[in-house]
Structure 1
């Protein structure tokens, strides 16, 4: 059997295996609600979402909770501006675009809660 024929069979088996793998992963994530987060940005956002969000009264007056919820799912963590080893609670700087506005969040992740420390809408 020539090399090209063997390589063709290999690619066919590999593609069938990848289709089955994608099917099983999709089923698993739909049934159990499991989210596959391997990259640092995704892991930090998932950890921030797992704890209940605590917003102080000053920020509650003008912070858009829908925007905060959206950014906790789709935002980008700026690790240069974050302090992941901060004591007593690590803080994370999250940036994102929500309905055409660029929003900056500063969040503290403590043991049982996630605190919103700062909410800024960037005006161009």
Structure 2
């Protein structure tokens, strides 16, 4: 299954790692450095899945998810949170913001690919 994925993370290293892992799996990957950039990229693509970090400058992952979910054209895109955070209250807040799933960094590329395939249906 080939997927189109938007990955939003302020760490260039993490974006590079995601791009490598997802491209190696045959996915088309679009990268953004924060929530504002992610919204700009979304205007020109139709991803099957979005991956977002939580802690980012300008617009964090919660703000990004709220903005995505507020637009009808994007409201059904699955969103996986990929973050170093693991607190239950943040997971609850992410679910309330529209997150489909939660993966803690560092990630296992094989498990990430399987998770993306699962949420994309």
Report the TM-score when normalising by structure 2.
0.25
Larger RCO of the pair (alpha carbons < 8 Å, separation 6+): 2
Please tell me whether Structure 1 or Structure 2 has the larger radius of gyration of its CA atoms.
1
Structure with bigger strand share is: 1
Report the TM-score when normalising by structure 1.
0.25
